[in-house]
Structure 1
Amino acid sequence: MAAPYASDPARARGRRIAEEESAFRSCFQRDRDRIIHCSAFRRLKHKTQVFVEHEGDYFRTRLTHSIEVAQVARTIAGALGLNQELTEGVALAHDLGHTPFGHTGEDALNALMSPYGGFDHNAQAVRIVTSLERHYAAFDGLNLTWETLEGIAKHNGPVVGDLPYALADYNAVHDLELHTHASAEAQVAALSDDIAYNNHDLLDGLHAGLFTQEEITGLPIVGDAFAKVDAAWPGLERSRRKHEALRRVFGVMVSDVIDRSRHLLNESGARDVQEIRNLGRPVIRFSDAVWADLQDIRAFLFTRMYRAPSVMAKRREVTQAVDELFPFFLANTNWLPEEWRHDIEAARDEVALARIVADYIAGMTDRFALQEHARLIAGR
């Protein structure tokens, strides 16, 4: 049964461009399906989290990560009586705006775009679903509901101060109430992202040989999970031991979020989704104890994985690729694909051109970015 503060598709604020709604899908189901079928979602298959796409088929990509986030988000939303389709749609869309090479690529592109308004992957996701996806006859973008757009824009919390240009441009014509928190569904998507990457970064780091099972048994939550597996299955082969332990870590995080959030939602007294937005604080959270434990895990991963020498060497390589592709395309827009020609001709100044180039580079996969760098720059 839906909670009173759940987002109700029958009361959704609608789409910017009016459409006849489906006879057999709710508006939030339709949003989710449009996200799954869009080009940017398919490209996530060849964009990675920490490692570069060609380094191994085992490592998570943005696509597998997004699917994992959506699975966790549906579980939590269902347990809390929230709308699962809206939660899933926001979860599936949350990484659409990521550049090639993960946060390394985003950092490089943000620095390059600093004279032109900067670059932010959450804002870019809004730009993709409202403008850059161009498959429908009646509109640019996916024409998602207000609730899904709100969730993509501010699932991490209110967006205040100087807005990223991609978000400011859209918000000027379709107010997403960026000063408030998002729905509980969008907040679930945000915490599910944390749960997924905390778990799979441990698994990917083990697989990459950046640390050992013995080293992570000293971490909170993780050590207890390994101890329980060892007690139940002494001498279990290492591969099974690893998976058995880390799925328990997953379970601890999910259960903690459900328990803590259920308490916060009940304590809020919210009678509808708008009251959730206006509370001034998030209602989907870890407990303080688990949150503190997760900070220790993240600190370990930062040192041993995200700043590992092999990862840093690759970061320098891919940063150079982005650093050199951007000025090349800015000075040689004729090298952009034919389908970008109309936007280039409509650009009024260098700022507009820079944003087009940023859109193009941000949409690249890891492999394509490296191939284009080799073809256009390194090979010359």
Structure 2
Amino acid sequence: MKLLTLLLFYLPFFIVQANTDNRIKIAIIGKTKNDSFYQQSYQGCQAFSQKHPKVQCIYDGPQDYQDPRSQALVVEDLIHQGIDGLLISVTDSNHLAQAVLERAYLAKIPIFTFDSDLLPQHQFYRQAYVGTNNQDFGIALGNYAKELLESTPGNQGLPLQVCIHSGHQTTPNLNDRIKGVRLALSQGKSANRLKDNGNWVELDRCPLYSLGKRELAIRQLEFMLQQKQRVINIAVAGFAQFSPDYLSRISSYKEKISTKEAIIISADTEQIQLKALEKGLSTINIGQRPYEMGRLGTELLYQYLVYGQKPAKELYYLDFHYCTGENYASCTENQPAG
């Protein structure tokens, strides 16, 4: 009887000790695993774990391109492995919610989103979003095009042809950025397709969707650069510029880019993109903070998992920065290098 009493007395202590000794497994899931943007987010998680050794960062995602089914399967596998928290950039909110998020929710695995949030009808599954205000980001991309071209002599009264380059048609953050671009170019009148909005007109075949496939994205850009009339190319993520072949394949269009016969305005400022700016193969890049998305998202998950502390806000918006051919060497200095 005494032995049983002792066991019952010490059992909670042993349970606490066992839980304390376990690693806190936090999974960082991007839209594509081979993307340096999401790799930086993973590095942000690792930086947090260096100060909190019990945190174990797990990095995964679809290998090569944006595929909703593959992303859901990756999450499902991680749930089976016994992760404690999930930080995910959403490719397809409907598919992810239906396929796996309910299971994670019922298993009491806290979910935070970064870079790309869930749609409003699914946001009860997640605690908070960490990343760029994507509509504002799209507005910034569109505003740069407007300022660049409307201030150039000879453009007044001429139709300015725009082609937006995107990834997957269902991706929430990319669609918000497209809305932002259209709002900027229509003077805030409409987030619908640009048609009869002053001088700005979207080409019939655009937006171009590459699913994040680099070869397809670079072929789409090449096709637009070959047009006789000037096309303002606005990429709402890196896409073509993430290709290792970008510099060699776009170099033949350098003169068109330098004279603004062709315009390339792109999201993100990864190292390969800064190299493109240095070589005069991009007009401007507007960058985000993927490292901080991963670091802050991990911190919020840690606070929730260890202390039961819910996030103070639902939306943690991070700032963005502008990189050109003039400041490419210093424009990201204030951003963590990862």
TM-score band, normalised by shorter chain = under 0.3
Hey, which of these two has a bigger chunk of helix by percent? 1
TM-score by length of 2: 0.24
Hey, which of these two has a bigger chunk of strand by percent? 2
Flag the structure with larger Rg.
2
